[in-house]
Amino acid sequence: MNIISPYQGLPERSYWRSGVSRQSPDTVSDLYIKKFSLNPRDKIITAGSCFAQHISRQLRKRGCGIVDAEPAPPGLLEDQGHKYGYHLYSARYGNIYTVRQLLQLVREARGKFKPAEWIWEKDGRFFDALRPSVEPEGLRSAEEVVAHREIHLGRVRGMFARADVFIFTMGLTEAWQHRSSGTVFPTAPGTIAGQYDPVEYEFINFDYSDIYSDFIRVRRILKARRPDMRFLLTVSPVPLTATASGDHVLAATLYSKSVLRAVAGRLAQQFDDIDYFPSYDLIASHFSKAAFYEGNLRSVTSAGVEAAMRVFFAQHDMGAEPALRSTDAIAAVPEMDPANSLADVAVDDADDLVCEDALLEAFGR
Amino acid sequence: MMNRTLLIGNSHVVCIKEALDRSVNPELGPSEFVYCPGVDLGEMEVLDGRLTARNRPALMQRLQKVGSPTEVDLDGYDRFVVIGLELSLGVCASIFSKYRCYRHYISDQDFDANVTQLVSDSVFQMALKGLISSTGSIRIVDRLRTATSKPIYIVPQPNPLENFKTIKPETDRQRRAFSKWHPMFPASITNELYQEFCWAATSIAKSHGSVFTEQPAATLNDSFTKSKYGRNKLGDIRHMNAEFGAVCLVDLVAGIAKIEGNHLSNA
């Protein structure tokens, strides 16, 4: 009886030499094999750390049905909108770095969680500490922050209630939390606003079991309302700016990303409705020899994003290349009917015939 | 001294033309018009020092249809007045119908979180300036500025007539307009937003090298145009009569004199 090695006869992607050494990260084609298909009619929602913005933008450019539950007002330029948290994700929750933060948001939107000490003040302006980046100058009063958050949560609730696919990018394991309540914040108190008080706040570095169980809870809550919801997980390849763990930032980064990668991998193995897209693996591993990072070895280059999305779209055929589409084709599925720029303004002037008659009369024709 | 004025605009030039025809304010001097209904005039280009529609056949046709010049030499004029072309309080209504600041949120019983979003003051003001910047009026100003350094004045479309608040909308178009403007009807809100609009329009006009002239205060009642200035066409709450044009001309000429000095009567 011939004993055949279990490694014999595997596809080329299974071997390092043919799958990596002889491949280029710019052209590798079978790094990712989708677990389920995305339907062009799917309502896709996005959230996560800042790398998720790239994915969201690329999907929009391809005409995917990215939900925009909080569209920007007409007249706001794209850059201005981004500065205020519009069009980055499917709602204005800003960066959601940790799965605990996501769990909080999901529970808060359902009225099952009340954050503590979440309004921070700086120079007389007030910030929503759970998404401080969306109003960079803060708001006039704490009451205004409360009102904004109530409206925001309503939109988030509606967004989750309609989503078919949830793309979430895991960013960090490290966070700061309010000691007595366990409320987790996306930034350390004192960074954008607020004040760091070690009696009130503490550093936390979530481990594998925390993150895994948090995501299980997120999934359970969301699927209770949307049983067919599918999840597509990625891990952000962007290293930590700083660590409070006491470790060297390189070691802390590798630890953090490794844990996240392990959780994402485990979840994808365990559930049919969770897929893992290996953008992190492509960009951050030595396969790409750091070619997809800027000089600071932290920011991901546009070539890196393009390489990752090429791998993604090789599996999920969502239509034409971005360059082939006009900006008009950039699609978003608004949860509300936004006032449509000047097209809406011009409605009052649509009755050209009346105007034409008046002009003809006045100018004597 | 040559002292000619070119007035460029959509149907809102009519009331001013009618006022000029009645010699209400001859100080403006010789005036000529380029006009076209709607917003198409914003597509005109400036080529070789001439405001022209020569590369826009559809626009050319529309201009010819209403008897407007299709090309003018900008050197022949001492100042330019851009009228209407979407620049109106309507830009505020477009934003406000769906986006409110907190100060309006607490006072507005109709606030519906499923339809209306809260925005910060900063975002509201940026959006307002953005919409004003994209009007045909500012587009024309930008093009004129590529070829001339002479003064450019912007006259906005008049605010809707005050009876807009009481008429019952009957057509789809009227219902759309009513629905857009309705949240602004309380006088305190209209007045506040009108001030914001004027402030933003002044700022944008200045940054584009022009001067924004506000609708004469005497024509307004709580920031809506007094009914007596309407053209009396059934359901038309946007177009004003010659009497309105005359008041605007007086204000415009006074504004020009203030900026250019008192040489207007040299015409």
A188-222: pLDDT as tens digits: 888 777 788 889 999 999 999 999 999 999 999 99
Rounded to the nearest angstrom, the minimum Cα separation between A318 and chain B is 30
Question: How far is it, in rounded angstroms, from Cα B222 to Cα A104?
Answer: 47
Q: Is the pLDDT of residue A29 over 90?
A: no
Residue A335 pLDDT class (50, 70, 90 cuts): very low
Nearest Cα neighbor of A252 from A294, A196, A185, A205 is A205
Task: Give A151's contacts in chain B (Cβ within 8 Å).
Answer: 113, 117-118
Q: Is the pLDDT of residue A337 over 50?
A: no
DSSP B236: -
Locus of tokens 């979180």 = B113
Say which residue, A95 or A65, is predicted with more confidence: A95
Q: Please spell the DSSP secondary structure of A267-284, one letter per residue.
A: HHHH-TTEEE-THHHHHH
Task: Give B175's contacts in chain A (Cβ within 8 Å).
Answer: none
Taking CA atoms, A310 is separated from A263, A290, A322, in Å, by: 24, 18, 11
Give the per-residue pLDDT at A323: 43
User: Do the chains contact at B117 and A70, CB–CB below 8 Å?
Assistant: yes
Give the per-residue pLDDT at A322: 46
The percent of residues above 70 in pLDDT, for chain B, comes to 92
Q: What is the pLDDT of residues A317-330, one digit of tens each?
A: 876 554 433 333 23
A-B contacts at Cβ under 8 angstroms: 165
Conformation bin of residue B191: beta by default, left when phi > 0, alpha when psi is -120 to 50: alpha
The sign of the dihedral angle between the CA atoms of B147, B152, B154, B155 is: negative
Residue of A nearest to B135 (CA): A342
pTM of the model: 0.87
Give the per-residue pLDDT at B83: 95
Question: How far is it, in rounded angstroms, from Cα B224 to Cα B182?
Answer: 13
Q: Which of A48-57, A95-104, A336-345 has the lowest mean pLDDT?
A: A336-345
Q: Is the pLDDT of residue A156 over 50?
A: yes
Say which residue, B231 or A127, is predicted with more confidence: A127
Give the per-residue pLDDT at A188: 87
Taking CA atoms, A322 is separated from A144, A305, A310, A319, in Å, by: 39, 13, 11, 9
Give the per-residue pLDDT at A251: 97
Nearest Cα neighbor of A181 from A268, A108, A93, A249 is A108
Q: Is the pLDDT of residue A344 over 50?
A: no
Give the per-residue pLDDT at A320: 58
Say which residue, B18 or A339, is predicted with more confidence: B18
DSSP B42: G
Q: Is the pLDDT of residue A355 over 80?
A: no
Q: What is the pLDDT of residues A268-307, one digit of tens each?
A: 999 999 999 999 999 999 999 999 999 999 999 999 999 9
User: Could you tell me if B120 lies within 8 Å of chain A, comparing CB atoms?
Assistant: yes
**What is the mean pLDDT of the segment spanning A109-134?**
94
Give the per-residue pLDDT at B267: 39
**A67 within 8 A of A47, measured Cβ to Cβ:** no
Locus of tokens 């989503």 = A163
Give the per-residue pLDDT at A196: 81
Question: How far is it, in rounded angstroms, from Cα B234 to Cα B169?
Answer: 12
User: Do the chains contact at B66 and A356, CB–CB below 8 Å?
Assistant: yes
Give the per-residue pLDDT at A351: 56
Give the per-residue pLDDT at B262: 58
User: Could you tell me if B106 lies within 8 Å of chain A, comparing CB atoms?
Assistant: yes
* Residues 214-233, chain B, touching A (beta carbon < 8 A): 231, 233
User: Could you tell me if B206 lies within 8 Å of chain A, comparing CB atoms?
Assistant: no
Within chain B, which residues score under 70 in pLDDT? 1-2, 24-26, 106-114, 234, 262-267
In A193-248, alpha helices (H): 208-225
Q: Compute the mean pLDDT over every residue in chain A, rounded to the nearest whole number.
A: 88
CATH topology of domain B5-87+134-163+197-266: Rossmann fold (3.40.50)
Q: Which residue out of B118, B170, B238 would a mutagenesis test of the A interface target, given it has the greatest number of A Cβ atoms within 10 Å?
A: B118
**B8 within 8 A of B83, measured Cβ to Cβ:** yes
User: Do the chains contact at A73 and B35, CB–CB below 8 Å?
Assistant: no
Q: What ipTM was reported for this prediction?
A: 0.85
> Is beta strand A274-276 parallel, antiparallel or unpaired with respect to A230-235?
parallel
Q: CA angle at residue A285 from A282 to A286, to 5 degrees?
A: 115
